Structure 1
Amino acid sequence: MAVDRLLPEVEYHPPAGPAVLFTRLKVTAADERVFLGKLAVLAALVCVGAVLALRRDVWAAGAGIVLLAAMFTHAVELQHQCLHHSAFRRALPHRLVGVPLGMPLLVVYSHYRVRHLQHHRYLGTPQDTEFFGFDTRGPLTFRALLRGLLDYPRLGAVAADVVRAATGRWTYAFGQIAPAMRRRIVTEHILLGAAVLGAVVLTVLGHGGYVLRLWMLPLLLAVPLHFLVELPEHLLCDPETTDVLRNTRSIKGNRLSTWFTNGNNLHIEHHAAMTVPINRLGERHEETRAFAVHVERGYADFYRLLWQALRNRPADS
Structure 2
Amino acid sequence: MRRTFIVGCPRSGTTIVQAMLARHPEVATLPETAFFEHLYGELHWRWRDHGVPHRRRRAVEMGFARRHGRHVLQQLQGRLGGGDVAVPLRLAGCIERFVGLLDDYAAAGGHSMWIEKTPNHLLYIPEIERHVPDARFVHVIRDGLDVVASIADANLHYDDNHGFGGGAKLWAQRWNRATNLHGRQVGKPNHHFVFLDDFVADTPREWRRLCEALALDPGAPLAEACARPIADLADEPWKRHAIQGNLRAPQSKAHTLFGPGLLDWLSQRLVSIEPLRQRCREADNDDAPASPGGFSPPRAKASVRAAPRTTGPV
Same fold (TM > 0.5): no
> Relative CO higher for 1 or 2, CA cutoff 8 Å, sep ≥ 6?
2
Q: In proportion to residue count, which structure has more strand?
A: 2
Q: In proportion to residue count, which structure has more helix?
A: 1
TM-score, scaled relative to structure 2:
0.27
